[in-house]
A = this chain, B = another copy of it.
């Protein structure tokens, strides 16, 4: 039951029905390709005749193309339809504290080149120049991949999407950095930026085979140096008035707890970040020293997991302690958003078999109804590159998004 917004509604014009059905058809081709007109008609519960006209329009605009013919046991063989990404590519960029990753994909997020990376330059101006150069070089080195539709950039911090600037990224030490305009000027392509937690959520929503939105609302939680969270409600990523929606990482577990980099104390992040786990293992607070010498870390969370697997009891206890706090925080997410599924990524998910029980136990302690304690939790491996996929989705998804109506 949605209330119509009186300040910003859209009435149905003559072309609105077509716009709606065109969007649905295009997105169905995206997620079911290759697909025939007849199958599309069945999925949409429309007559083949109407589909023909819709498809002709999409063909004329080069949004889709006709491939070979499919198989059929009896009767005429179908001609198959595909999203037309032959002359287009998308650049995805993931800027992290130590390294920055670049991928080139088609509109469906399928890699067209190898993923490349380089050390993040801590000076934002120099970094943007270098990033621009590298993007141009990659495109020059790969002539066959066609024109670039745009660049999606994902950063570990708060962003002002409309203004195209990064507001605050503690792990990078950047504040109020204009990203979109200079990078757009340097590359000549449109640039979109987004916070990495939200981008990960976006990646799940727009994953080609994604059934994420079909489930209902979902939340993505990424655990690393900090905690990034993206919340999806009704197929849309929550942004909020000041672009801070979803910052569960800074909701308190204990307001009298240890100080957090955000200025408050006892934030969830303070208890479950990788640094917290390492600190617990070494028995001292690594937060300051670690931040100062980022990149030179000799011993990281993955080493800790190896030790835990090797029989190091202290390492296992440190992980399980983090798991407990992780579960307590997830309980808040469930009590507040009550999603159908929670996605979790981050190095610590490599030890999921060791910690799942602890997470579930802690969760059950605080979740309001027993059924909600069984909320699906899905691990997203780093090999899926959720942040990069999210960066790509920033560019490609708008073409497939639902039209705004009423």
Q: Which A positions have Cβ atoms within 8 angstroms of B?
A: 1-9, 11-14, 16-18, 20-21, 23-24, 27-28, 31, 44-46, 158, 167-168, 205-206, 211, 213-214, 216-217, 231, 233-248, 250-257, 262-264, 266, 328, 331-332, 334-340, 365-366, 368-369, 371-372, 375, 397-398, 400-406
A236 cross-chain contacts in B, Cβ below 8 A: 1-3, 234
Question: Other CB < 8 Å A-B pairs besides A250-B335, A405-B406, 17 of them?
Answer: A1-B237, A3-B235, A4-B213, A11-B21, A12-B21, A24-B406, A231-B336, A233-B238, A234-B234, A239-B338, A242-B369, A242-B372, A244-B334, A248-B336, A251-B336, A253-B254, A264-B365
Expressed in whole angstroms, the Cα–Cα distance for A335 and B335 within the complex equals 15
Are B402 and A403 closer than 8 Å at their CB atoms?
A: no
Copies of the chain in the assembly: 2
CB-based contact A366/B242 at 8 Å:
no
The residue that A2 contacts in the complex, of B28, B253, B402, B406, with Cβ under 8 A, is B402
Contact between A4 and B402, CB atoms less than 8 A apart? yes
Asked if A233 contacts B234 (CB within 8 A), the reply is: yes
B247–A368 contact, CB under 8 A?
yes
CA distance A216 to B3 in the complex (A): 11
Closest to A393 in B: B1
Residue of A5, A18, A167 with most partner-chain B CB within 10 A: A5
Closest CB in chain B relative to A335 CB, distance in Å: 4
> Which residues of chain B come closer than 8 Å to A366, judged between CB atoms?
250, 252, 264
A336-B336 contact, Cβ under 8 Å, with A1-B398, A27-B4: yes
Contacts of A340 in B (CB 8 A): 241
Q: Which of B13, B24, B44, B241 contacts A217 (CB 8 A)?
A: B241
Residues of B with C-beta under 8 A to A46: 11
Give Cα A245–Cα B369 distance, bound, in whole angstroms. Answer: 11
CB distance B335 to A244 under 8 Å? yes
